[in-house]
């Protein structure tokens, strides 16, 4: 019979499987190297919110606002399926450092959603919009969501792309695939940066 401690430790591991079963945006894999992948993503709809907070707090602050929207804080009280990842990007800057405007946090809406049929948010901080098809370079990593770790991984991705002569657009963003309750060393994280088409 498992001990109470082993049962407690098993819950986050089981929840990881559930969390990773959620829908992710559709893409076609164009290339893979030892450092990064290049993916072509289809157009997607997102719900997003601006957040004025430090890097390490912005993701969770934005998550709460957007979770409210998909769990029924909208004009029809409709529930919308959770997707992954949660995207965190610096607002109004093409640099790795955040601007004075803080961050923008995004949830992808489920496939088949349309702007005309998505429920209107009750919270004025939530905005709905469509992102066009994009080519994205992706570097995956596990572990914490700390700012220092993110910047190190983003710098590694940018350096590898520069060495390969691949032109980027804008700034890197953090893509988080797991719940805050997931054990930190099991978390799936990615740095994304858009590429010149």
Q: How confident is the model at residue 99 (pLDDT cuts 50, 70, 90)?
A: very low
The predicted pLDDT at position 35 comes to: 96
Enumerate the H helices of 71-165 as residue ranges. 147-163
Q: What is the pLDDT of residues 125-141, one digit of tens each?
A: 999 999 999 999 999 99
Burial bucket for residue 8 (CB in 10 Å: 0-12, 13-18, 19+): exposed
| Kind of pairing between the strands at 103-108 and 127-131 | unpaired
Q: Domain of residue 109: give its range.
A: 4-195
Higher pLDDT, 99 or 148: 148
CATH of the domain at 166: 3.20.80.10
Q: How confident is the model at residue 101 (pLDDT cuts 50, 70, 90)?
A: low
Q: What is the pTM of this model?
A: 0.83
Residue 58: both structure tokens together:
């912005």
Number of domains in the chain: 1
Burial bucket for residue 77 (CB in 10 Å: 0-12, 13-18, 19+): exposed
The predicted pLDDT at position 100 comes to: 53
Pairwise CA distance, residues 163 & 100, whole Å: 31
Q: What is the pLDDT of residues 39-50, one digit of tens each?
A: 999 999 999 999
């Amino acid at each position: 019979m498992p001990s109470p401690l082993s049962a407690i430790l098993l819950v986050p591991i089981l929840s990881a499987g559930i969390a990773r079963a959620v829908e992710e945006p559709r893409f076609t894999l164009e290339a893979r190297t030892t450092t990064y992948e290049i993916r072509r993503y289809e157009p997607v709809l997102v719900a997003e919110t601006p957040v004025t907070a430090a890097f390490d707090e912005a993701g969770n602050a934005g998550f709460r606002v957007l979770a409210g929207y998909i769990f029924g804080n909208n004009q029809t009280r409709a529930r919308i399926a959770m997707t992954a990842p949660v995207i965190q990007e610096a607002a109004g800057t093409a640099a790795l450092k955040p601007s004075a405007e803080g961050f923008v946090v995004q949830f992808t809406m489920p496939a088949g959603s349309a702007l005309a049929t998505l429920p209107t948010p009750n919270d004025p901080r939530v905005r709905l919009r469509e992102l066009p098809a994009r080519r994205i370079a992706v570097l995956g990593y596990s572990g914490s969501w700390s700012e220092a770790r993110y910047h190190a991984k983003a710098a590694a991705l940018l350096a590898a792309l520069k060495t390969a002569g691949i032109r980027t657009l804008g700034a890197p963003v953090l893509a988080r695939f797991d719940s805050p309750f997931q054990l930190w060393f099991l978390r799936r994280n990615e740095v994304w940066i858009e590429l010149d088409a």
